[in-house]
Amino acid sequence: MVAISDRLEQQLRTLVAIVAQEPCCLCNGDSDVVGVFMAHKNHARAYEAPKDKNRMVFYAICGACLHLPDSAKRIEKELRRTIHRGEYQVVREAK
Ligand SMILES: [Zn+2]
């Protein structure tokens, strides 16, 4: 179990609010859920993360796509494609 600070919780809420406006990453329809994909630093190079850095990606998805039997595989493939094409925004911590 992990507890987070109020500040981190606020940052996560902001991220989720931004991503919740996006369409489903698989079908481009209205999204219902925000998911988080995290590649450990040992595998994050495949997601174009800097060396020795983890890669965390927030994505939006609809209920129908979420419940597809191979949704995890499809999401991972789409995230790789999106990252490879640079079709994502980077949200940095506010100073
Ligand atoms: Zn969908």
**Å from CA of 23 to ligand 1 middle:** 8
* End-to-end Cα distance, the chain: 28
Full-model pTM: 0.82
- Does residue 93 have a pLDDT over 70? no
Q: Is 86 exposed, middle or buried (0-12, 13-18, 19+ CB in 10 A)?
A: exposed
- Does residue 89 have a pLDDT over 90? no
Residue pLDDT, tens place only, 24-48 = 999 999 999 999 998 888 877 877 8
How would residue 88 be classed by pLDDT, with cut points 50, 70 and 90?
Answer: confident
Give the residue extent of every domain in the chain. Answer: 6-85
The span from the CA of 77 to the CA of 80, in Å, is 5
- Does residue 94 have a pLDDT over 70? no
The span from the CA of 31 to the CA of 93, in Å, is 25
**Å from CA of 36 to ligand 1 middle:** 16
For residue 90, give the amino acid letter: V
**Å from CA of 61 to ligand 1 middle:** 5
**Å from CA of 10 to ligand 1 middle:** 27
What local confidence, expressed as pLDDT, does residue 21 receive?
95
**Å from CA of 1 to ligand 1 middle:** 30
CB atoms within 10 A of CB 13: 10
